[in-house]
Amino acid sequence: MRTDPAQAVNVGDMLESDVNAAALAGLTGIWLDRGIDFVTGGPSPTADETVLRVERLTDLPDHLSRTNA
């Protein structure tokens, strides 16, 4: 796709393996926080304030327009 990683995002519902891994690859990771930790079955893990977070995929376009402004 020849896209600069700094201009790409990865949306995932697992904080460590999706969002933090994206950052290590040079992409912006966006966490789809569904309110549950799919590994433990407990509540979602706590992310620091630097993590971009959405609760629904339908929130993504508005979120992206704010981060690109």
| pLDDT (0 to 100) of residue 63 | 79
- Domain of 18, in residue numbers: 5-67
What distance in Å separates the CA atoms of residue 67 and residue 40, rounded to the nearest whole number?
31
**In the block, which residue shows the tokens 């629904």?**
56
Higher pLDDT: 64 or 22? It is: 22
| pLDDT (0 to 100) of residue 2 | 80
pLDDT digit string, tens, across residues 4-57 = 888 888 999 998 889 888 988 899 899 999 999 888 899 998 888 888 999 999
Q: pTM for the whole thing?
A: 0.80
DSSP 8-67: -EEEES-IIIIIIHHHHTTSEEEEE--SS-TTTSSSPPP--TTSEEESSGGGHHHHHHHH
**Domains in the chain: how many in total?**
1
| pLDDT (0 to 100) of residue 69 | 52
